[in-house]
Structures are given as structure tokens and as C-alpha cells.
Amino acid sequence: MCGRFAITLPDDAMARLFQAVPANDLPPNPNYNVCPTNPVAAVTSDAGQRHLRPMRWGFIPQWYKTPADGPLLINARAETIAEKPAFRAACRERRCLIPASGFYEWSKGAGGARLPWYIHRADGAPLAFAGVWQDWEREGERLTTCAIVTTAANAPMCAVHHRMPVIVEEGDWAVWLGEAGKGAARLMQAAADEVLAFHRVDPRVNSNRASGPELIEPLAEAD
């Protein structure tokens, strides 16, 4: 799964990287501890024009009467996304890219302690998570919401967790966004083993209130 991530790339740099028109109300950046229900920046494509726009991280199915009417859907499993009623239409029609600098995952330590890790691209480039999105509206309240697509972890990541986000390489962005015909399904797989690197970080990130660049720094004397 993916339950937290960091984004440190400035808005204008994100817009240039994805060749997208940025919205005026993007969420504050940098954010070293993006949590579920937080606003995130996502890239969508409309008739070939890409947009960088804010979305709530936590997909709301159309049948929810309130945003809290059911489970919080922050992730969509690649193996079942095309079949699940919540995601089926979005998988076909509303795919997005969610930029990130890295993400957090937790392994279990002695006595069941939660040991946080920061995972990022080995080459230092930004990540582009595969995502799906949709608008939800009830009684005048309207939210644009998204979920990150996840898949079974690759071999290195299995040492930390059995799931990981689907990471879309730059050459495949147009396919995932629906600009270059069909083929999105083949992208929903784990990144190659050499793409990611990871290191232990301070357990302070276990709190969703923690913030600051020190959250992604390697933990000194990690076990």
C-alpha cells in the first residue's frame, strides 16, 4: 500500500516536468508528510492538454452520501481496479499521475515496533504514481478526489512491505493519461528492482502531525 508520501518539487518545476498548466490553488509545498485526506497535486489530461490540479487524497465513490460514508479509499489495487465498482469507470476514463519525491513504508521490529522507511528513486528524479480520480458532489459540496494504484512489491521492496505504488516512467506518462491510445493495463506492475532505493528514517514520522525535511533523512545507527 501507500499511506504517506513526500513532495518537495516546487509547483513550477512540477508543471514544467509534466508539461502541465498549473492551477492557482495547489496545496502548500514542500510537504514531507502527506497524509490521507490531505490535498495533493495531480496531473490530468483533457484533449491532450495536461493540467496540474489539486485533489483530495482519498477517493470517494459516487454512492457515498458523505465523504465519511464508507472506507477511506487511498489506494486501488492494480489486480482488481478494473472490476471494483468504486474504481471501474475511473480506471477507464479518469487516470492521473500523482507526483512525489518519495514515500514511506513500515516494517515490523522487535516487539512489534513500527519501523519507518523512506523510499525514493535511486537516480534522485521525482516519482510519478499511477492514480485514478473523480469528482464527488452532494448537496452543494464538491470534491475532486484520487487514489494511488498499488501492486505487489518488487524483490527489494519485499524486505520492507509486500505492496508498493505503481510508478509510471516518463516515457509512459502519455499512455497512462490516455493521450497515446491503449496500453495502460500493462503499466500496472512493480517498478524494476533497480529503480528504487530506501533507508530507515526517524520514528517521528509515525505521527501524522510531524513535518520538516528531517523526516526523510537517514536514521543514524539504524538497526
Residues with active-site annotation: 2, 105
Burial 21-41, CB ≥16 within 10 A → b, else e: ebeeebbebebbbbbbebbbb
Angular region, 37: left φ>0, alpha ψ -120 to 50, beta rest: left
Report residue 177 CA to chain centroid gap. 15
Pairing, β 31-34 against β 4-7: antiparallel
The CA distance from 100 to 33, in Å, is 11
Residue whose cell numbers read 537517514: 218
Which residues make beta-bridge pairs with 100? 127
d(CA 160, CA 126): 21
